[in-house]
Amino acid sequence: MTADSRKSDPPMTVRRLAHLGGVTVHVVRNYLRRGLLRAASHTEAGYQLFSTAELHRLHFIRTAQRLGFTLAEIEEILRRSRQRKSPCPLVRDIMSRRLKETREQLVHLLDLQSRMAQAVAHWTHLPDAVPTGNDVCALIDAIAATEAATVPKTTPRRLLGRRASSEKSSVFPAIEPIVARTGERVRIRVGNLSMWNHPIHLHGVQFHITGGDGGRLPRSQWRTEVTEIVGVGQMRDIEFTAVPGDWAFHCHMSHHTMGPMGHDLPNTIGVDQRGVEAKIRQMLPGYMAMGEDGMGEHQDHTDGGMAGPPNTLAMMAGKGPFGNIEMGGMFTVVKVRDDLAPGDFSDPGWYRNPAGSVARRVSNDPAFGNPPRRPR
């Protein structure tokens, strides 16, 4: 077949690419965000179109994942390939490490298989027993009595406002983020040891209330919420399936997500300070006007070196990818990523939003786009 007689394959939409690659549209868009896939062109309406080469690349990515490569490792492999550098040494090194890890896991699984076989053989000669109230299952209790094994203790990864260790309570931005992997089932236990009720709110997902003061609830009693009031002295277990992104997790009482308020200090909220700051600075060198639009400017004042009362935080603090977060107190972020290593709960940094998904200013003209308005 000559080049003239060959017909190029028609470009594919995101949905078509996902269908042929055996993945969901969400997976393809995630790969696009990470730079693993690239659109060949766009329609007049802005929709992305893909060539057959991207379908081959999608199959490569999925094959690499099945071999145990993380998305971060695949990114590096593709980067080297685009630079015309052989990724083979890197692939061999990663696979050697994966092989070692797999062998270690296999040893643990074989040990578990042996203990399971011993338990089944031991149970064959034991009669069925009815629990007396002090035990649960005589079979497992019999194994515990004969096996000098210790039960591993589980510790909550993090608690809101308190780390899993014995450190004192913290406030944002000193509170660590809650880190999870995409698709993981996350359970957060919130215990209210304060003297206020706290409506606990999570962005990005709906969660289930699966436990309370009396322990875990039956499945039929689970509730779906986005905000749950935790009263004084109460506990709640909330569970959800992690989806990628950075999701705010906080008390929904506004004064519980602030630093010190300074009730007795005069402020200039709503005051037009144009020209005033320069005049005052002539008398008081270094003077900085307080915020006139809100208290979120405290972070800028703190960063600029403006001194505050001793041992006092800014009222609103924290830096994010788009500027000041303007939060404090009972606030943290649930950070969910696709390719976290098992057991890695370190802060992964800020989420990289997919291209085209972040709002931006397109015009300063209030009549831009002919927005509908009420007649005067």
With residue 187 as reference, give the H or E element that holds it. Answer: strand 185-191
Is residue 221 included in any domain, yes or no? Answer: yes
Same domain, 300 and 238: no
Q: What are phi and psi of 255, to 5 degrees?
A: -75, -5
Do 163 and 234 have their domain in common?
Answer: yes
Give CA–CA dist 197/253, Å, rounded: 9
d(CA 33, CA 352): 7
What number of CA atoms fall less than 13 Å from residue 11's CA on the CB side? 12
Instruction: Based on the fold, state whether residues 262 and 213 are members of the same structural domain.
Output: no
Do 270 and 299 reside in the same domain of the chain?
A: yes
Per-residue pLDDT of the chain (376 residues; tens, 9 = 90+): 444 444 567 888 988 999 998 888 888 888 888 888 988 888 888 888 999 999 999 999 988 888 888 888 888 888 888 888 888 888 888 888 888 888 888 888 888 888 888 888 877 777 776 665 555 565 666 655 555 444 333 333 433 333 333 334 678 878 888 999 888 889 999 888 888 889 999 998 899 999 988 888 888 889 999 999 999 989 999 999 888 999 999 998 888 887 765 545 555 666 677 777 778 878 877 666 665 555 566 666 666 666 666 666 767 777 788 877 888 788 889 999 888 877 778 888 899 888 778 888 888 887 787 777 777 6
If asked whether residues 200 and 244 sit together in one domain, one would say: yes
What is the pLDDT, as a whole number, of residue 133? 54
Nearest to 245 by CA among 189, 296, 177: 177
The token duo for 109 is 């699984």
Hey, is 359 helix, strand or coil?
Answer: coil
Shared-domain flag, residues 165 and 242: yes
Residue 363 in domain: no
Query: DSSP characters for 194-228?
Result: SSS-EEEEESSS-EEEEEETTEEPPGGG-EEESEE
Residues 105, 67, single domain; the answer is no
Distance CA 83, CA 81 (A): 5
Residues 108 and 168 in one domain: no
Predicted pLDDT at 304: 60
| CA–CA separation, 169 and 158 (whole Å) | 12
Which pLDDT score is estimated for 302? 63
Q: What is the pLDDT of residues 196-209, one digit of tens each?
A: 889 999 998 899 99
Q: Is 320 part of a structural domain of the chain?
A: yes
| Separation in Å, CA 20 to CA 8, 29, 102 | 17, 15, 31
Query: How many domains does one find in the chain?
Result: 4
> Does residue 375 belong to any structural domain of this protein?
no
The two tokens of residue 47 are 């929709």
- Pick the last residue of a domain from 237, 255, 273: 255
One domain, residues 271 and 250: no
Q: What is the pLDDT of residue 282?
A: 82
Judge whether 308 lies within some domain.
yes
Q: What is the pLDDT of residue 157?
A: 40
User: Does some domain include residue 360?
Assistant: no
pTM of the model: 0.51
| Domain encompassing residue 45 | 14-85
Domain check: are 165 and 237 in the same one? yes
Output the domain CATH number for residue 198. 2.60.40.420
Last residue of a domain, one of 36, 62, 85: 85
Q: Which two tokens stand for residue 343?
A: 């057991």
Mean pLDDT of the chain: 78
**Could you tell me if residue 361 is inside a domain?**
no
Do 211 and 250 lie in a common domain?
yes
- CATH code assigned at 59: 1.10.1660.10
HEC readout, 29-79: HHHHHHCCCCCCEECCCCCEEECHHHHHHHHHHHHHHHCCCCHHHHHHHHH
Q: Residue 163, class by beta-carbon neighbours within 10 Å (0-12 exposed, 13-18 middle, 19+ buried)?
A: middle
Which of 213, 230, 255 represents a domain boundary (last residue)?
A: 255
DSSP state of 373: -
- Whole-number Cα distances in Å, 326 to 109, 160, 169, 356: 48, 18, 20, 25
The answer to whether residue 142 is domain-embedded is: yes
Q: What is the pLDDT of residue 303?
A: 64
Characterize 273-309 residue by residue with b for buried, 16 or more Cβ atoms within 10 angstroms of its Cβ, and e for exposed.
Answer: eeeeeeeeeeeeeeeebbbeeebbbbbebbeeeeeee
Considering Cα of 114, then 118, then 119, then 124, what sign does the dihedral take? Answer: positive
pLDDT of residue 207: 92
303 and 251 part of one domain = no
